[in-house]
Amino acid sequence: GAGVSQTPSNKVTEKGKYVELRCDPISGHTALYWYRQSLGQGPEFLIYFQGTGAADDSGLPNDRFFAVRPEGSVSTLKIQRTERGDSAVYLCASSLQGATYNEQFFGPGTRLTVL
């Protein structure tokens, strides 16, 4: 499996619940990104990791959103007290060193539905 993988592919939850979304990047890719895509829109940036550290989290909409990448590989996006407006497809991407001259490769996404 050479591509970016994300689990689960679909997640349905109730308003107020906590969810975790997982991303497994391409092996050897040090840069990892999370994006969120609402229906009919392009993806919007959430957070960027270089190695283990969040190099730029300015896209996170509020403090209910948090992401970690403790070992510099797998990342988890965590959403507390989910709201209906959080419903979207959450996309993860990785690139070799950060996308200055490298492509970002995207996973299939996790479709989150908050009822």
Partner 1 sequence: SQQGEEDPQALSIQEGENATMNCSYKTSINNLQWYRQNSGRGLVHLILIRSNEREKHSGRLRVTLDTSKKSSSLLITASRAADTASYFCAAYGNNRLAFGKGNQVVVIP
In angstroms, rounded to a whole number, what is the distance separating the alpha carbons of residues 79 and 83?
9
CB 36 within 8 A of CB 89: yes
Chain residues 3-32 in contact with partner 1, contact rule CB under 8 A = none
What single-letter DSSP state applies at residue 85?
A: G
- Measured distance CA(11)–CA(26) in Å, rounded: 23
What would the x/- binding string for partner 1 be over residues 53 to 82, using CB under 8 A? --xx--x-----------------------
* Binds partner 1 by CB under 8 A, chosen from 68, 74, 89, 96: 89
Per CB under 8 A, which region of 14-22, 36-44, 60-68, 77-85 contacts partner 1? 36-44
